[in-house]
Chain A
Amino acid sequence: MLRIWRVGLLSGLALAAAPAQAFVAYVSNEKSNTVSVIDTDSWTVTKTIKVGQRPRGIEFTRDGKFVMVAVGDDDTIQVIDAKTQAVVDSLPSGPDPELFAQDAAGKILYVANENDNTVTVIDLEKRARLGDIQVGVEPEGMTISPDGKILINTSETTNMAHFIDTASRQIVANVLVDARPRFAEFKHDASEVWVSSEIGGTVSVIDPQKHEVIGKVTFEIPGLRKEAIQPVGIGMTRDDKTAFVALGPANRVAIVDVATRKVTKYLLVGQRVWHMAFTPDEKYLLTTNGVSNDVSVIDVAAQKVIKTIQVGELPWGITIAP
């Protein structure tokens, strides 16, 4: 009896001390038209949700209750209820939505519509369209400054990062970067914006006050053709010390020292790595590998790939519950 009690106590303790807090990651699979749900405790796919056609940009609402996914070929953004893990609603975007960004309060959503050169502004509470902003050709990357005042949108064809004043919804500056900019990310202290260029093979570091490129991150991997290095997704740790850059068909993620803008290490992940997301405790970074149809799990502190999880076809975006 005593032993049973002891065992019970021990297992209770073990449970309480379980190190990994379980989070939930949602991955959009562009080709199979599904979203894979990953449990970060068991590192397995626990559910596959059928969504609209060509799901790409994907993000949790700030309250963690819903997941929004841009389904480009259906010209809308679908809303998944995180509790029931089913599509419950849709948001009015423009044609072919690809990526989007929400303000810090989670009230306003800005959507890049690849096909009509606009950014749609949506009220998330009312789920209604507030208006459109005319931007460059093939808008793609989207990010919002930590204070919510500036929205950055990159245009794949004009090779620019557009700085948009969210109050007036007017473009206030255009900054030229290298060919085919794909993604933009602010430092948490708002002092820099990093913009990746897929064809240019670089990340431009922009001063958001002066609207000037103040530096560039370059990549070189021994034995790899330059063309294979195609930077897309960027993730920065909350202390702004380390950045991770996904390098597409180089099948690697570069770890960059933010202060010196130099690569310190390359990690081999899966094929054609594009986007990534940290777990909220920043212990892990998950990347989507579009061609090998899997997700790599990187241990952030150890700077090592610890796991590969098979998902649907052409995994594109990823978001993790806050």
Chain B
Amino acid sequence: MTIRVLAIAALALAAASTAARAADPRYPNWPCTQAKVPEISLAAVWTGPALDDAETKWKDDAKVTALVSKLSARKTPMDEAEKSVKEFLAASAADKTANAKLLFAGLFDTLNAQRSQVMNGLERVSRKQREAADRIREETIQLQALQGAASRDDSRVEALSNELIWKTRIFEDRNKVVRFVCEVPTAIDQRLFALGRVIQQEME
């Protein structure tokens, strides 16, 4: 039983250190394989006309803000989102270019903010995971010492190994979640780029 506990703890820690290698020295808490890009630059996703005051004015347009929040939600399927963009711009007539700029400025702001939130969360969890790994390591050593003691206290050994099992399980689950959440910033990049492409096509 305790041997298994130790083995599980060791495995979990090994997995954690694998994830930590090849880290970017600029962002020591960044847990994902994809190198961190803290925010999306406009030039990476937009080759249309300069956004100018659209960058602030989009917030004053009720139609645009409503559409932005719908399009930014990951639950809105991409084909539905693209259709909404086309409909909105088709109905804009003379204001097409201005509306296109407002819409993209809103998406750029909103999705970038969403992305930053996810990234900050990832770094926070990764920091906590490192602390948890340290504690598991310490308690593993304690458990080994208890087992090797001349007058072995079986109830304490059992209590500590149960606690270790529990902590290791939480640690592993969180690692899985982190791996999964690492895909989210990329999914946001993808959505912004795809919507930007449709908006630019519609402007031509």
Contact = CB atoms under 8 A, between A and B. Distances in A.
A249 B44 contact: yes
B75 interface: no
Interface stretch (B64-72, B81-89, B153-161, B185-193): B185-193
A230 interface: yes
Interface of A: 137-138, 156-157, 179-180, 198-199, 221-225, 227-228, 230, 248-251, 268, 271-272, 291-292
Contact of B39 (A180, A225, A248): A225
Question: What's the dominant secondary structure at chain B's contact region?
Answer: loop
Interface size class of B (residues with CB under 8 A): 20 to 34
B24 A179 contact: yes
A227 B26 CA distance: 10
Contacts of B37: 225, 227-228, 249
Interface in B23-47: 24-26, 35-45, 47
Given A156-B22, A199-B35, A224 B44 contact: yes
B44 A199 contact: no
Contacts of A268: 47
Contacts of A230: 35
A137 B189 contact: no
Interface in B156-204: 186, 189-190, 193-194
Given A157-B22, A180-B22, A227 B186 contact: no
Given A138-B21, A291-B190, A292-B193, 19 more contacts: A157-B22, A179-B25, A180-B35, A198-B35, A199-B35, A221-B43, A222-B43, A223-B42, A223-B43, A225-B37, A225-B39, A227-B38, A228-B40, A228-B41, A251-B45, A268-B47, A271-B189, A271-B190, A291-B189
A138 B22 contact: yes
A251 B25 contact: no
A291 B47 CA distance: 18
Nearest to B21: A157
Interface of B: 21-22, 24-26, 35-45, 47, 186, 189-190, 193-194
B14 to A, nearest CB: 12
A224 B21 contact: no
A271 B189 CA distance: 8
A144 B24 CA distance: 28
B73 to A, nearest CB: 19
A292 B190 contact: yes
B123 to A, nearest CB: 14
A292 B189 CA distance: 9
A21 B128 CA distance: 57
Given A228-B37, A271-B193, A292-B193, A251 B21 contact: no
Contact of A251 (B44, B186, B194): B44
A292 B38 contact: no
26 contacts: A137-B21, A138-B21, A156-B22, A180-B22, A180-B35, A199-B24, A199-B25, A199-B26, A223-B43, A225-B38, A225-B39, A225-B41, A227-B35, A230-B35, A248-B35, A250-B44, A251-B44, A251-B45, A268-B47, A271-B189, A291-B186, A291-B189, A291-B190, A291-B193, A292-B190, A292-B193
B40 to A, nearest CB: 8
A179 B22 CA distance: 9
A225 B27 CA distance: 15
Nearest to A251: B44
A272 B39 CA distance: 14
A248 B42 CA distance: 15
A222 B189 CA distance: 19
A222 B43 CA distance: 8
B36 to A, nearest CB: 6
Contacts of A225: 37-39, 41
Contacts of A227: 26, 35-38
- Most chain A beta-carbon neighbours within 10 Å: one of B21, B37, B39, B190: B37
Contacts of A180: 22, 24, 35
A228 B189 CA distance: 12
Contacts of B40: 228
Contacts of B189: 249, 271-272, 291
B44 A228 contact: yes
Nearest to A250: B44
Nearest to A201: B35
Nearest to B44: A251
- Most chain A beta-carbon neighbours within 10 Å: one of B21, B35, B40, B186: B35
